[in-house]
Amino acid sequence: MPRYIIERNFPDGLHIPVNDTGAQACLGVVDANARDGVTWVHSYVNTDKSKTFCVYDGPSPEAIRRAAGSTNLPIERITEVRVLDPYFYR
């Protein structure tokens, strides 16, 4: 399955409460993504919470866009990536 980095912009900041409401919001994204065969692996958030870099597995960029549309999440850029780590040549 291809892996992608999804860049998202949140001009007012990303605000997910650290409680059951926030957990339910995240699980809602996971459930909605599954309908399009998309898996949210994890995300990185910049320090002012205005931008995220999300790691996703999915069949295609179109599937990721459909999943994002169903959860009203913005997409700035989708980039297909491969893993390169410092131990690759050992």
Number of domain units in the chain: 1
CATH number of 18's domain: 3.30.70.3090
In which domain, by residue range, is 47 found? 3-81
Residue 47 located in a structural domain: yes
In a structure prediction context, what are the per-residue pLDDT tens digits for the chain, which is 90 residues long?
A: 999 999 999 999 999 999 999 999 999 999 999 999 999 999 999 999 999 999 999 999 999 999 999 999 999 999 999 988 888 777
DSSP secondary structure letters along 22-44: HHHHHHHHHHHHHTTT-EEEEEE
Residue 50 located in a structural domain: yes
Residue 28 located in a structural domain: yes
Which amino acid is present at 66? R
Whole-model pTM: value is 0.89
Residue 89 located in a structural domain: no
